């Protein structure tokens, strides 16, 4: 799209599976854009990116901009019990390796931008997906936008308002909270000597109980369009589609930015009540498309190419974010 020749470099794994990068031309004083889509082997892809960024930094590149349409580990951006915020670790590693800027698309949580110590451009795929709805779904005026959980309602509301459509929210598929059996109330271990003070009795937090599944909003006789940012494990989507069919929706579409579609997701989609899954090409999914004809792809390379051009020329990025509100 930009009419630029690809830089000459070789990335390969040695026989002991170590990653090696050879840059075959001078990069001194240049703006370098490393394009890294994340394939099946996420950790190898991350290591390739880190090694290449460090090689470019060592060879005096002026700016090293990572183009990661899907930012890996973005689901691990909240603290879990005895866990860690892996997303924060990854951003620190990228900065240490030498990256000076990142272009990405639809981060799992917008707040992830705060983990970076350098500029981030979090582009949006919604204009492309909305255009797909308008052009490829016949009679989309009879559609209703569905959030498959209350947490996805904000994204669904944004789509509904732009398309002038109704909104429905599903409730009842919330995940169980983690088991509180090993919650550390008896730590430190009993073998350690304490000074005779017993632990204070704190008020007990009531466990969540899964409510019966309800759909807030009327989907009867409508096309249901479920919107989300990532579609990976599809069990939730399949279950949601079944319920929407029961409630009278006659066609079910799923729109998502990142189609990870791991494990046997294509087979489950093929056998389900879902009519079409529409994802962008931020993540390679050619194999999944061969397994499941219901998966359709929207090309977002245009906005990534324009972002690269604008950054290289020092132009404003505001044009790419027009009509995007703070809470979108």
Phi-psi region of 180 (alpha: psi -120 to 50; beta: other; left: phi over 0): alpha
Which residues in the chain come in under a pLDDT of 70? 173-196
Residue 25 CA to residue 315 CA, distance in Å, equals 27
pLDDT at 98: 96
**Residue 190, pLDDT score:** 61
Per-residue confidence (pLDDT) for residue 156, from 0 to 100 = 95
Angle at 139 between CA 157 and CA 255, to 5 degrees: 45
Q: What ranges in 164-219 are assigned the alpha helix state H?
A: none
- Model pTM? 0.90
Task: List the beta strands (DSSP E) in the chain.
Answer: 9-13, 19-23, 31-35, 63-68, 101-105, 120-123, 143-147, 166-171, 214-216, 223-231, 251-259, 276-280, 295-298
The string of pLDDT tens digits covering residues 102-111 is 999 999 998 9
What per-residue confidence (pLDDT) applies to 143? 96
Residues 291-307 as b or e (16 or more Cβ within 10 Å = b): ebebbeebebeebbebb
Tens-digit pLDDT profile for residues 117-136: 999 999 999 999 999 999 99
Q: Which two tokens stand for residue 302?
A: 């245009």
- Of 173, 296, 292, nearest to 240 by C-alpha is 173
* Closest among 53, 36, 21 to 284, alpha carbons compared: 36
pLDDT score at 189? 63
Distance CA 112, CA 64 (A): 20
């Amino acid at each position: 799209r930009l009419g630029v020749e690809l830089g000459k470099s070789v990335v390969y794994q040695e026989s002991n599976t170590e990653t090696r990068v050879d840059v075959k031309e001078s990069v001194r004083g240049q703006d370098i854009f490393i394009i890294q889509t994340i394939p099946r082997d996420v950790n190898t892809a991350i290591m390739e990116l880190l090694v290449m960024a460090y090689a470019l930094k060592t060879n005096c590149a002026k700016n090293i901009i990572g183009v990661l349409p899907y930012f890996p580990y973005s689901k691990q951006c909240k603290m879990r019990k005895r866990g860690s915020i892996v997303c924060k670790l990854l951003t620190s590693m990228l900065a240490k390796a030498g990256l000076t800027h990142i272009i990405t698309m639809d981060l799992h949580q917008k707040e992830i931008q705060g983990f970076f110590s350098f500029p981030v451009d979090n582009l949006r795929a919604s204009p492309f997906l909305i255009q797909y709805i308008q052009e490829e779904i016949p009679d989309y005026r009879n559609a209703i936008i569905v959030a498959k959980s209350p947490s996805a309602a904000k994204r669904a509301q944004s789509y509904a308002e732009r398309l002038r459509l109704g909104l429905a929210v599903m409730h009842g598929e919330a995940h169980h909270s983690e088991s509180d059996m090993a919650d550390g109330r008896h730590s430190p271990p009993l073998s350690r000597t304490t000074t005779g003070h017993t632990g204070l009795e704190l008020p007990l937090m009531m466990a969540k109980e899964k409510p019966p599944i309800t759909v807030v909003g009327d989907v009867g006789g409508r096309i249901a369009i479920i919107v989300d940012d990532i579609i990976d494990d599809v069990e939730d989507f399949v279950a949601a589609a079944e319920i929407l069919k029961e409630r009278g929706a006659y066609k079910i579409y799923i729109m998502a930015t990142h189609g990870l579609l791991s494990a046997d997701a294509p087979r489950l989609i093929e056998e389900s009540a879902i009519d079409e899954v529409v994802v962008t090409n931020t993540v390679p999914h050619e194999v999944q498309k061969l397994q499941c004809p219901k998966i359709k792809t929207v090309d977002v390379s245009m906005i990534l190419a324009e972002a690269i051009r604008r950054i290289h020329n020092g132009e404003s990025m505001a044009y790419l974010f027009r009509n995007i509100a703070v809470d979108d």
